């Protein structure tokens, strides 16, 4: 028996690895307008003429009588020294909503830091469901020390309950009154921020402010240059990029496999284009482009076969294809699509056929193999499939996401303390080190058909085919197909130059001059 | 258009990411007996009474008339100053054989460094097949600068051809004569090192030395304390451990999924036990223990259901199960096993049913779901499956693997220069910073039944149920099941304390006092 080592190992159990402990001790940094993390400056944001344009102003004003706004709030320029007296005695609740994304814990950390010792932060357990049930815990600085810079939402848990019925809203109001809440911070994606807008309106008459913080690894919540990307995207895509880079290296080493790699992203292909920009695989499908070109499943199979043939003719019997999770939902086949997936039909919990349950990467591999056997029997083809998803949602945040989220928390704290409601805290202008603002959730709403009903929902941002990221990406496709231009960008580092890199698509879309942040 | 950034991005194509470029510039370190990487000392190893015991001495002496040995070669103690004059004009070939493992490029780098400018290093393209065909390239220092500390085998490629027939051996001999080779270094796993032993015997009469370097992410080539682990294992298991840690964090955040995670490792479960020791999942199956306990598939399903029930009763409707790739091949079912896999039968390229092609993780998830519905319909159960494999073979090596492999290369260079043959270069005693030796391949051979024939093959090391690693791991199982003891050990770092950690199973098996390596 090796008692010394065994003792040491046992003490490291429960998220006490060297890496986790080291991350916990890294001091947080804040944007200049907040002062310093040790001595946070409370500075309410104000409206300074900037607005979010919406075509639905008339309808929204009617639906959100008390809270509709188009005004962007910003810190007062030049006011970086003076600190407004911070409100005291406020009681704020915070909750995670929807799937996890890296950095969520830092939002809570920043929020508690801004509230300070004279206000109270309550954590809602298990997401919106916990808000309905009133399962709250008080969050103290000790817990923050434990979770800061750590991945996951496990401090509080999360769920996907949507709060929108009268009855649910009434339940929330009862809880707000019972717990004497002055504000609620909702950390969630597009649906959760839609909920935040609805709750803000419903709770306006009891002066409970509701503030949203935009989280989604899919990256589909974006607001002009106020919020070029949501938090969690950078960490997830850097994890997937490491894996894809390793697989591309393996392909070039083993020289006999084609890898079919599906990446998370149902509606938007931001994750896929970012990973492609990071790693340069021979072939990548972007749902938005597939839709725009009206491609069918057969076109996808053909395009992949063409790629295999092209590389074979250049001496490379190997390669990789990236495809977004939502690819089949963007095809032009219509109902005929099912003919291709007879053996692979997925069902949802109600027994309905679900395109999203199809293992697209496996079906594509099979269909490519069959077609190649007919058209090019001389070409050796062996496929391997991968789905990258869950491993990217709960990892320790990158330097970027850690900084981004702590500051989003401080910002959310500022907004609830100043009583702003129906607003989402945002940070943009990363090429200048980051600039905070708050945008009105109502002005971001659009109308969508859901289960036969028209609903107001937060507008999802898809890959814009005229954006800087897409046009650059498209211009590189031929070279990446015809050579081994791949990168293997490696694991996330926390020291050195490679630790501080923005997502490539953010830099390209925003016209930044480099990937460096700070 | 953003020309400045686009230009910068384009220049980074082809393995020129910040991370890859940074890794290239990290200076190599060597063990004290080699002097320094800039001024390598050539010191032939000699026999100093240590031996490898084999029960097959008599048979092996007959089969390996010219090369059979049990003698371990070691550096001369205390001889760390004087350098023996280094042979000149030698022509050495190096090849990768079998699946890739991280650090292979550093073996080549170390080898070239030891050969120096007065000897020639030829790289064999595409593995053993290239040796038969004579597809060689000369490796120069420029190429080394490009590949050092990079993952993959892509400098040369690899393949799985086995060289063992008379005809193949004759072909190799012709190539050795044609290219005037003095030595061949084979970087490969158990089969490749078996081949090395056979080639050494066959080429002994023309004085071509054959030296093996042990690579396998499976970790099943081990030689007492001379070689506690093969290279590539540390990098692969640290990558899988990061992913598993992220998934465990996700499970504890989402609180509704059971993850079924299959890990590489057909014969031995070293990878699985190491990842389990790093991350502490609720349930892990180790093939060797399953076999020893004569467990059937039904027992595996039961044990998993029991784990789900146990955690549910403690308020945790989530968890994870780790299982090694080779699990089903170690069950006690015999031919009855096929009854469980009717829908999931895999076939090999000859149309034979193949257990190894079964997606065990998916079948287990399904069967657990069915059984739970019968026995505990009140328990919510939602499963997600993962297979971690290819992404761990070609990543940039950890600090440990980078150091290990560069020194293995320097050692292999020493051995071929001194004309040793049929030997494998090894490094052990990591708690003392590492100690080099060479062990005779013939003494490591054992007899195995393969396709109906008895063959001499390098003995695979499986998980020993009496080892330090297994007994400690077993003692922690109950706690890991009944609580959230998980660790999320994070991405491989290259700076700071967490960058320099040995595999836990090495430290436990070898009785080291800590995980640190210098």
pLDDT at position A324, please? 97
In sequence order, which ranges of A267-398 are alpha helices (DSSP H)? 270-279, 287-292, 297-313, 360-375
Q: Are the Cβ atoms of A496 and B243 closer than 8 angstroms?
A: no
Q: Is A515 on the interface with B (CB under 8 A)?
A: yes
Do the strands B183-188 and B91-96 form a parallel or antiparallel pair, or are they unpaired?
A: parallel
Q: Is residue B4 part of a domain?
A: no
Q: Find the domain containing B213 and state its range.
A: 13-73+87-232+394-450
| Structural tokens at position B134 | 């004579």
Q: Is the pLDDT of residue A508 over 70?
A: yes
pLDDT band at residue A146 under the 50/70/90 scheme: very high
Q: Is the pLDDT of residue B427 over 90?
A: yes
Same domain membership, residue B354 and residue B206: no
Same domain membership, residue A386 and residue A401: no
Same domain membership, residue A278 and residue A187: no
pLDDT at position B452, please? 85
Same domain membership, residue B369 and residue B386: yes
pLDDT at position A344, please? 66
| 3-state DSSP of A123-174 | EECCHHHHHHHCCEEECCHHHHHHHCCCCCCCCCCCCCCCCCCHHHHHHHHH
CB atoms within 10 A of CB A77: 8
Q: Going by C-beta distance under 8 Å and a sequence separation of 6 or more, which residues neighbour residue B451? A: none
Lowest mean pLDDT among B39-53, B183-197, B339-353: B339-353
Same domain membership, residue A419 and residue A375: no
Q: Are the Cβ atoms of A513 and B476 closer than 8 angstroms?
A: no
Domain ends where: A426, A450, A474? A450
Average pLDDT over residues B361-375: 96
pLDDT band at residue A187 under the 50/70/90 scheme: very high
Sign of CA dihedral A358, A361, A367, A369: negative
Q: Is residue A515 part of a domain?
A: no
Average pLDDT over residues B34-56: 94
Q: Is residue B317 part of a domain?
A: yes
Choose the closest CB to B126 out of A255, A483, A515: A255
Minimal CA–CA distance to A50: which of A33, A67, A73, A31? Answer: A73
A20 contact residues in B (CB cutoff 8 A): 487-490
What digits encode the pLDDT tens for the residues B258-277? 999 999 998 999 999 999 99
Burial class (CB in 10 A: 0-12, 13-18, 19+), A19: buried
A218 catalytic per annotation: yes
- DSSP states of A215-276: B-TT----BTTTBSS-BTHHHHHHHHHHHHHHHHHHHHHH-S-EEEEEES-SS--HHHHHHH
Q: Is the pLDDT of residue B428 over 80?
A: yes
What digits encode the pLDDT tens for the residues A271-328? 999 999 999 999 999 999 999 999 999 999 999 999 999 999 999 999 999 999 999 9
**What's the CA gap between A474 and A238, in Å, rounded?**
21
pLDDT at position B317, please? 97
Choose the closest CB to A490 out of B20, B468, B484: B20
- DSSP states of A3-72: HHHHHHHHHTTTT--HHHHHHHHSPP---GGGB-SSSB-----EEEEEE---TTHHHHHHHTTTT---EE
Count: domains in chain A: 2
CB atoms within 10 A of CB B25: 9
Sign of CA dihedral A334, A339, A343, A348: positive
The residue among B26, B188, B236, B390 with the most chain A CBs within 10 A of its CB, best to mutate, is: B390
Q: Is A23 on the interface with B (CB under 8 A)?
A: yes
Which of B58 and B344 is assigned the larger pLDDT? B58
DSSP three-state, residue B458: strand
**What's the CA gap between B356 and B348, in Å, rounded?**
9
pLDDT band at residue A2 under the 50/70/90 scheme: low
DSSP three-state, residue A181: coil
| Cα angle B202-B203-B205, degrees, rounded to a multiple of 5 | 100
- DSSP states of B203-248: HGGGT-EEEEEEB-TT----BTTTBSS-BTHHHHHHHHHHHHHHHH
Q: Is the pLDDT of residue B80 over 60?
A: no
Q: Are the Cβ atoms of A5 and B508 closer than 8 angstroms?
A: yes
Q: Are the Cβ atoms of B391 and A246 closer than 8 angstroms?
A: yes
The residue among A4, A15, A135, A366 with the most chain B CBs within 10 A of its CB, best to mutate, is: A15
Q: Is B400 on the interface with A (CB under 8 A)?
A: no
Choose the closest CB to A152 out of B18, B253, B512: B253
State in Å, rounded, how far the first CA of chain B is from the last one: 49
- DSSP symbol at A207: T
pLDDT at position A278, please? 98
pLDDT at position A84, please? 82
A493 contact residues in B (CB cutoff 8 A): 19, 491, 493-495
Q: Is B9 on the interface with A (CB under 8 A)?
A: yes
Same domain membership, residue A303 and residue A208: no
**What's the CA gap between A109 and A145, in Å, rounded?**
8
Q: Is A482 on the interface with B (CB under 8 A)?
A: no
**What's the CA gap between B17 and A508, in Å, rounded?**
17
B249 contact residues in A (CB cutoff 8 A): 150-152, 154, 394-395
Q: The domain spanning residue B136 has which CATH number?
A: 3.40.50.450
| Structural tokens at position B31 | 């063990």
**What's the CA gap between A439 and A148, in Å, rounded?**
26
pLDDT band at residue A449 under the 50/70/90 scheme: confident
Instruction: Tell me the residue length of chain A.
Output: 518
Lowest mean pLDDT among A355-359, A393-397, A484-488: A355-359
Among B residues 116-135, those touching chain A with beta carbons less than 8 Å apart:
126
Say how far residue A509 (Cα) sits from the centre of its chain: 17
Minimal CA–CA distance to B330: which of B474, B462, B450? Answer: B462
pLDDT at position A345, please? 62
Minimal CA–CA distance to B271: which of B319, B334, B322? Answer: B322
Choose the closest CB to A22 out of B280, B491, B497: B497
Average pLDDT over residues B342-357: 65
Average pLDDT over residues B453-479: 96
Choose the closest CB to A20 out of B100, B159, B487: B487
Q: Is B13 on the interface with A (CB under 8 A)?
A: yes
Same domain membership, residue A253 and residue A370: yes
Residue in A with minimal Cα distance to B20 = A489
Same domain membership, residue A163 and residue A73: yes
What digits encode the pLDDT tens for the residues A384-405? 999 999 999 999 999 999 999 9
Sign of CA dihedral A322, B127, A484, A295: negative
pLDDT band at residue A116 under the 50/70/90 scheme: very high
* Residue B9, H or E segment: helix B3-11
Residue in A with minimal Cα distance to B23 = A490
pLDDT at position A428, please? 97
- The chain-wide mean pLDDT, for chain A, equals 94
Distance from the Cα of B343 to chain A's closest Cα (Å) equals 13
| Cα angle A398-B237-B128, degrees, rounded to a multiple of 5 | 120
Q: Is residue B182 part of a domain?
A: yes
Q: Is the pLDDT of residue A77 over 90?
A: no
Q: Is residue A14 part of a domain?
A: no
Backbone angles phi, psi at A248, to 5 degrees: -65, -40
Q: Are the Cβ atoms of B488 and A395 closer than 8 angstroms?
A: yes
Q: The domain spanning residue A247 has which CATH number?
A: 3.40.50.460
As a whole number of angstroms, the longest Cα–Cα distance in chain B is: 77
**What's the CA gap between B230 and B216, in Å, rounded?**
6
Average pLDDT over residues A72-95: 86
Q: Is the pLDDT of residue A479 over 70?
A: yes
A488 contact residues in B (CB cutoff 8 A): 15, 17, 20, 150-152, 394-396
- What region does B200 belong to: left with phi over 0, alpha with psi -120 to 50, or beta? alpha
CB atoms within 10 A of CB B80: 15
Q: Are the Cβ atoms of A250 and B100 closer than 8 angstroms?
A: yes
Residue in B with minimal Cα distance to A150 = B488
Q: Is A485 on the interface with B (CB under 8 A)?
A: yes
Minimal CA–CA distance to B484: which of B256, B241, B277, B279? Answer: B279
| Structural tokens at position A497 | 């130059």
Same domain membership, residue A254 and residue A190: no
B2 contact residues in A (CB cutoff 8 A): 468, 472, 507-508, 511-513
Cα torsion at A172, A173, A175, A180 (round to 10°)?
A: 140
Q: Are the Cβ atoms of B252 and A12 closer than 8 angstroms?
A: no
pLDDT band at residue B81 under the 50/70/90 scheme: low
Q: Is the pLDDT of residue B95 over 70?
A: yes
Same domain membership, residue B29 and residue B160: yes
Do residues A502 and A515 touch, judged by C-beta distance below 8 A? yes
For residue A158, give Cα distances in angstroms to A131, B250, B259. 11, 10, 17
pLDDT at position B14, please? 97
Beta-bridge mates of residue B454: B449
Among A residues 227-256, those touching chain B with beta carbons less than 8 Å apart:
239, 242-243, 245-247, 249-250, 252-256
**What's the CA gap between B331 and B342, in Å, rounded?**
17
Beta-bridge mates of residue B436: B427
Distance from the Cα of A369 to chain B's closest Cα (Å) equals 14
Q: Is B359 on the interface with A (CB under 8 A)?
A: no
Selected catalytic residue, list B191, B218, B220, B401: B218
Q: Are the Cβ atoms of A15 and B487 closer than 8 angstroms?
A: yes
CB atoms within 10 A of CB B417: 23
B278 contact residues in A (CB cutoff 8 A): 17
pLDDT at position B353, please? 65
Average pLDDT over residues B329-348: 79
Lowest mean pLDDT among B77-91, B160-174, B363-377: B77-91
The residue among B22, B124, B146, B154 with the most chain A CBs within 10 A of its CB, best to mutate, is: B154
As a whole number of angstroms, the longest Cα–Cα distance in chain A is: 77
**What's the CA gap between B125 and B95, in Å, rounded?**
7
Q: Is the pLDDT of residue A1 over 60?
A: no
Q: Is residue A199 part of a domain?
A: yes
Beta-bridge mates of residue B138: B122
Q: Are the Cβ atoms of B253 and A489 closer than 8 angstroms?
A: no
Do residues B398 and B102 touch, judged by C-beta distance below 8 A? yes
Do residues B251 and B319 touch, judged by C-beta distance below 8 A? yes
**What's the CA gap between B238 and B230, in Å, rounded?**
14
Q: Is residue B458 part of a domain?
A: no
**What's the CA gap between B393 and A246, in Å, rounded?**
8
| Structural tokens at position B287 | 């093939």
Among B residues 369-398, those touching chain A with beta carbons less than 8 Å apart:
384, 386, 390-396
Q: Is A2 on the interface with B (CB under 8 A)?
A: yes
Average pLDDT over residues B342-354: 63
- The chain-wide mean pLDDT, for chain B, equals 94
Distance from the Cα of B251 to chain A's closest Cα (Å) equals 9
**What's the CA gap between B479 and B485, in Å, rounded?**
7
pLDDT band at residue A341 under the 50/70/90 scheme: confident
- DSSP symbol at A281: -
Q: Is the pLDDT of residue B102 over 70?
A: yes
In sequence order, which ranges of A280-359 are alpha helices (DSSP H)? 287-292, 297-313
Do the strands A46-51 and B283-284 form a parallel or antiparallel pair, or are they unpaired?
A: unpaired
CB atoms within 10 A of CB B475: 12
Q: Is residue B263 part of a domain?
A: yes
Average pLDDT over residues B466-494: 97
Distance from the Cα of B195 to chain A's closest Cα (Å) equals 19
Backbone angles phi, psi at B409, to 5 degrees: -65, -45
Among B residues 28-87, those touching chain A with beta carbons less than 8 Å apart:
none
Q: Is A152 on the interface with B (CB under 8 A)?
A: yes
Do the strands A91-96 and A120-124 form a parallel or antiparallel pair, or are they unpaired?
A: parallel
Same domain membership, residue A499 and residue A356: yes
**What's the CA gap between B221 and B462, in Å, rounded?**
9
- DSSP symbol at B487: -
Same domain membership, residue A198 and residue A104: yes
Selected catalytic residue, list A182, A218, A234, A401: A218
**What's the CA gap between A256 and A141, in Å, rounded?**
54
In sequence order, which ranges of B424-503 are alpha helices (DSSP H)? 468-482
DSSP three-state, residue B287: helix
DSSP three-state, residue A172: helix
What digits encode the pLDDT tens for the residues A219-242? 999 999 999 999 999 999 999 999
Which of B335 and B478 is assigned the larger pLDDT? B478
Q: Is the pLDDT of residue B518 over 80?
A: no
Q: Are the Cβ atoms of A13 and B479 closer than 8 angstroms?
A: yes
pLDDT band at residue A517 under the 50/70/90 scheme: confident
Q: ipTM score of the complex? A: 0.96
Residue contacts between A and B (CB atoms, under 8 Å): 272
B511 contact residues in A (CB cutoff 8 A): 2
Q: Is the pLDDT of residue A350 over 70?
A: no
Q: Is the pLDDT of residue A4 over 70?
A: yes
């Amino acid at each position: 028996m090796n008692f010394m080592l065994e003792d040491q190992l046992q003490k490291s159990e429960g998220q006490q690895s060297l890496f986790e402990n080291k991350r916990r001790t890294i001091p947080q940094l804040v944007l200049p307008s907040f002062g310093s993390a040790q001595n946070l400056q409370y500075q309410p944001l104000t409206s300074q003429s900037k607005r979010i344009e919406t075509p639905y102003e008339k309808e929204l004003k009617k639906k959100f009588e008390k809270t509709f706004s188009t005004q962007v709030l910003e810190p007062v320029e030049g006011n970086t020294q003076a600190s407004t007296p911070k409100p005291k005695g406020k009681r704020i609740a915070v909750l995670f909503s929807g799937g996890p994304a890296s950095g969520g814990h830092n939002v809570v950390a920043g929020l508690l830091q801004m509230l300070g010792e004279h206000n109270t932060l309550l954590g809602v357990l298990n997401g919106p469901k916990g808000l309905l049930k009133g399962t709250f815990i008080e969050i103290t600085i000790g817990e923050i020390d434990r979770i800061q810079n750590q991945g996951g939402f496990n401090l509080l848990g999360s769920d996907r309950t949507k709060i929108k019925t009268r009855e649910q809203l009434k339940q929330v109001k009862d809880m707000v009154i019972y717990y004497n809440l002055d504000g609620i911070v909702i950390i969630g994606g597009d649906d959760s921020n839609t909920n935040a807008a609805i709750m803000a309106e419903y709770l306006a008459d009891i002066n409970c402010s509701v503030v949203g913080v935009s989280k989604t690894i899919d990256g589909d919540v974006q607001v002009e240059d106020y919020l070029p990307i949501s938090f969690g995207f950078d960490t997830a895509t850097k994890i997937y990029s490491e894996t894809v880079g390793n697989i591309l290296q393996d392909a070039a080493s083993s020289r006999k496999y084609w890898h079919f790699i599906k990446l998370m992203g149902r509606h938007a292909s931001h994750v896929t284009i970012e990973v492609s920009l990071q790693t340069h695989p021979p072939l990548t499908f972007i749902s938005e482009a597939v839709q725009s070109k009206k491609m069918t499943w057969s076109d996808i199979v053909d395009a992949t076969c063409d790629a295999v043939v092209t590389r074979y003719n250049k001496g490379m019997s190997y390669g990789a294809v990236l495809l977004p999770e939502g690819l089949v939902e963007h095809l032009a086949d219509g109902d005929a699509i099912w003919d291709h997936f007879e053996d692979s039909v997925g069902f949802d919990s109600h027994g309905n056929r679900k395109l999203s349950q199809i293992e697209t990467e496996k079906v594509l591999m099979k269909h490519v193999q069959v077609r190649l056997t007919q058209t090019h029997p001389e070409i050796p083809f062996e496929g391997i499939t991968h789905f990258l998803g869950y491993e990217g949602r709960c990892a320790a945040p990158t330097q970027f996401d850690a900084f981004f989220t702590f500051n989003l928390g401080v910002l959310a704290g500022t907004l609830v303390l100043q009583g702003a409601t129906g607003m989402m805290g945002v940070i943009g202008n990363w090429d200048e080190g980051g600039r905070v603002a708050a945008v009105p959730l109502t002005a971001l709403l659009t109308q969508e058909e859901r289960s036969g009903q028209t609903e107001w929902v937060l507008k999802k941002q898809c890959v814009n085919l005229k954006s800087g990221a897409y046009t650059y990406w498209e211009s590189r496709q031929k070279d990446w197909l015809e050579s081994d231009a791949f990168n293997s960008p490696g694991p996330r580092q926390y020291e050195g130059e490679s630790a501080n890199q923005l997502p490539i698509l953010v830099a390209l879309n925003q016209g930044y001059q480099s990937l460096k942040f700070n």
